[in-house]
Amino acid sequence: MQKTLTVFQSQTRAAEVSRPGRSHWAQTAGEAAPLVLIIDDERELRTAVGAALIVAGMQTREAETGSAGVKLAAHENPDLILLDLGLPDCRGIDVCGELRSWTSSPIIVLSARHAELDKVAMLRAGADDYVSKPFGMTELIARVEAQLRRARTPHRDLPAVFDVDDLHIDMALGILRRNADPIRLTRTEWGIFRTLVQWAGRPVPHQEMFNAVWGRQFGNPSQYLRVYVTHLRRKIERDVSTPRVIITEPGIGYRLGVD
């Protein structure tokens, strides 16, 4: 209760600082407001945080469980995610890892746990920031804005569910299908494919791909990767001789064949 009261007490101060028109994220013509997903089981906290974000010029969606949050993230493709650790159905660190496996949207953890080990574990699981409860709303909004600024690039993530050629991909569920028939990938093949999706059609350099999938440096990864990519293409391409899903960028690496 105390942490909720602190949030409510801070909300008024945040509103005064972040009035529409003064906010960095106030809408301009043709520009959509950033979408923030709040995953927290405390309704009062979700309401307070959501109200402050809206005042700051953002849109919000809410989920009270981890499973609902993952589904909503897959459907809405938010620009940023606020994630509580104390969820009723699963561990926050598992939700963080699941989200990070298919989205690069910033994740800010909200937690009553103050131990350094908890913070380090979440950051290593893929979180971008960690805010301890109770927190000041003005500080939270500033942290959200800072993460959104860093994440702003000319492209957005691909949605969690999309099609390439005649291949249907659901990154949230880890499913690939062609004509309703499932395609089964090994863990390494899935890691390669997931990395291509995270780069959203941009070329992934050989070394970046190797680091992402195997987690270490490698002297000359291009030949090593070629073997795995060949096996992967045999599973997902209609015609391996003219690949349309995994495109080779000569001298650079590979990219996903999306527009």
Q: What CATH number is given to the structural domain containing 198? A: 1.10.10.10
* Whether residues 61 and 146 fall in one domain: yes
* pTM, entire model: 0.59
Rg (CA), the chain: 20
**Is 178 within a domain?**
yes
**pLDDT attached to residue 123:** 87
**Is 8 within a domain?**
yes
In this predicted structure, the answer to whether residue 229 has a pLDDT above a threshold of 60 is yes
**pLDDT attached to residue 102:** 82
- The last residue of one of the domains, among 133, 151, 169, is 151
* Whether residues 52 and 139 fall in one domain: yes
* Whether residues 56 and 96 fall in one domain: yes
* Whether residues 90 and 197 fall in one domain: no
**Is 156 within a domain?**
no
Alpha helices in 18-115 (DSSP H): 43-55, 66-76, 92-100
* Whether residues 122 and 12 fall in one domain: yes
**pLDDT attached to residue 182:** 92
**Is 205 within a domain?**
yes
* Whether residues 81 and 194 fall in one domain: no
* Whether residues 166 and 81 fall in one domain: no
* Whether residues 218 and 240 fall in one domain: yes
* Whether residues 78 and 31 fall in one domain: yes
Quickly state the pLDDT bin for 162 (edges 50, 70, 90): confident
**Is 12 within a domain?**
yes
pLDDT, average across residues 10-19? 38
Total structural domains within the chain: 2
In this predicted structure, the answer to whether residue 12 has a pLDDT above a threshold of 50 is no
- The last residue of one of the domains, among 101, 128, 151, is 151
- CA-closest candidate to residue 82, choices 90, 72, 2: 72
Q: Residue 39's domain spans which residues?
A: 2-151
* Whether residues 6 and 121 fall in one domain: yes
Quickly state the pLDDT bin for 24 (edges 50, 70, 90): low
- The last residue of one of the domains, among 117, 151, 185, is 151
CATH number (domain holding residue 40): 3.40.50.2300
At 52, give phi and psi (nearest 5°): -65, -40
* Whether residues 219 and 121 fall in one domain: no
The tokens describing 155, both together, are: 């492209």
The DSSP call for residue 220 is -
For tokens 């699963």, name the residue: 90
**Is 10 within a domain?**
yes
Quickly state the pLDDT bin for 218 (edges 50, 70, 90): low
Is 163 in a helix, a strand, or coil?
strand
Burial class (CB in 10 A: 0-12, 13-18, 19+), 46: buried
* Whether residues 165 and 57 fall in one domain: no
Q: Hey, which bits of the chain come out as E strands?
A: 35-39, 59-63, 80-84, 107-111, 129-132, 161-164, 167-170, 175-178, 181-182, 204-205, 246-249, 253-256
Angle of helix 116-125 relative to helix 92-100, nearest 10 degrees, comes to 30
